[in-house]
Amino acid sequence: MSAPLRVAMIGNGFMGAAHSQAWRVAPRFFELDRVPEMAVIVGRDAQKNAHLADYWGWQEAATDWREVIARDDIDIVDIVTPGHTHAEIAIAALEAGKHVLCEKPLANSVDEAEAMAHAATRARESGAVAMVGFTYRRVPAATFARQLVQEGFVGKVRQVRAEYLQDWLADADAPLTWRLDKSKAGSGALGDIGAHAIDLTQFITGENLTRVSGTLETFVHERPIVGERQGLSGTASDERGQVTVDDCAMFMARLSGGGLGSFTATRFATGRKNALRVEISGDKGAIAFDLEDMNSLSLYDATAPADRQGFTKVLVTEAAHPYMAAWWPPGHMLGYEHAFSHQVRDFVSAIAAGEQPTPSFTDGWQVQRVLAAVERSADTGSAWTETAS
């Protein structure tokens, strides 16, 4: 047996829970050449962190990520902290020779993402690899959609309609969290969920967004201050703080293959909880994916006889579908958490094989350039803004 890969996870919020179950579950359902070992979880609150280490199955808890990264017994650093900390932690970990998995978006700025990508390139020369966690790529139906496009099912891609709709901020009295602070989050709906729509579109089509034209809107400019921002235990007061990010982003895009895309990312879509949808239309057919119906794809074959045309719903639960052979009999559904297990499977497999996992930090840097271009377009009112600049 090869030596285990000892993992240190930096951060212990919502994503920490999702990543913890993935590190725990993946080696029990997939045959991995190297087994990940949940070594240490790092968080600022020692008491909370110690509790979560026990609750989620980590061997130990720590409060200083720098000390943990310097340890010789750590092989992988998994970063699930707010975006403003990603660059510092990831670059330090790569320079220490650790493999790095970093949540999306890769950073809070193009400059930070570029520095991270260059650090990953340098680390690759000495055997350490880095990957950004665009987890929805690992939903079996999304991976299958990419396969179908690569096989030519839709033909030439003409249009993409992508949207990520949530409503958790529709209440104007919802609290002011770190996600609404530009200094920590980088951007609002655009970077938090719009990044997923961008990456999934590029992943499925195999094309990049080259130009964008967009607008950003903040509907609620002040919200109640709660929790650690006020020294309280999650209780609200009459004090309100400034929202410094966007609530909604809408933009048009040109794809590298010549097609057009329309994108919406909003946390004000009343009644929508986690609706990430991508529909690709080509000259031979169409594919539609919806995360709220994540075990299926809608397929349209434009080459079929006229009396047999129409969208067909395909259940993506067969053993022949991506990742599914490790799980349940056909028709037995997977959930949100399974994509994180697939992410661990792919990341660990790449490490064991000495290969570069995807999406790489360079891929994450490219998404960051798209986000920045949308912001520039919104700020300047530009009809089209290049993503390469």
pLDDT in tens, 192-211: 999 999 999 999 999 999 99
Q: Is the peptide bond before 357 cis (omega within 30 degrees of 0)?
A: no
pLDDT digits (tens, 9 = 90+) for 95-149: 999 999 999 999 999 999 999 999 999 999 999 999 999 999 999 999 999 999 9
pLDDT at 356: 98
**Structure confidence at residue 226 as a pLDDT band (50, 70, 90):** confident
| Candidate CATH numbers 3.90.1150.10, 1.25.10.10, 3.40.50.720, 3.40.50.300; the one for domain 5-136 | 3.40.50.720
Domains 5-136 and 143-357+367-380 are alike in CATH topology: no
pLDDT digits over 321-346, tens only? Answer: 999 999 999 999 999 999 999 999 99
* pLDDT of 31 above 80: yes
With H, G, I as helix, E, B as strand and everything else as coil, classify residue 107: coil
Among 153, 143, 139, 140, which Cα is nearest to 287's?
A: 153
Tokens for 202, please give them.
């590029």
How do the domains of the chain map onto residue ranges? 5-136, 143-357+367-380
pLDDT higher at 91 or 232: 91
On the question of a cis peptide bond just before residue 359, with omega within 30 degrees of 0, the verdict is: yes
Instruction: Kindly indicate the confidence band of residue 229, based on its pLDDT and cuts at 50, 70 and 90.
Output: very low
Q: What does the pLDDT look like over 309-321, one tens digit per residue?
A: 999 999 999 999 9
Report the alpha-carbon distance of residue 188 to residue 182 in Å, rounded: 7
pLDDT for 233 beyond 50: no
pLDDT in the model for residue 1 = 59
The pLDDT of residue 318: 98
The pLDDT tens digits for 159-197 are 999 999 999 999 999 999 999 999 999 999 999 999 999
- From the options 3.30.390.10, 3.30.420.250, 3.30.360.10, 3.40.30.10, give the CATH code of 143-357+367-380: 3.30.360.10
pLDDT of residue 237: 61
pLDDT given for residue 235 in this prediction = 52
* Max CA separation in the chain (angstroms): 67
**How far is it, in rounded angstroms, from Cα 102 to Cα 72?**
20
Strand order, beta sheet including 36-42:
60-62, 36-42, 5-10, 76-79, 99-103, 130-133
Q: Hey, which bits of 4-156 come out as E strands?
A: 5-10, 36-42, 60-62, 76-79, 99-103, 130-133
What pLDDT does residue 2 have? Answer: 84
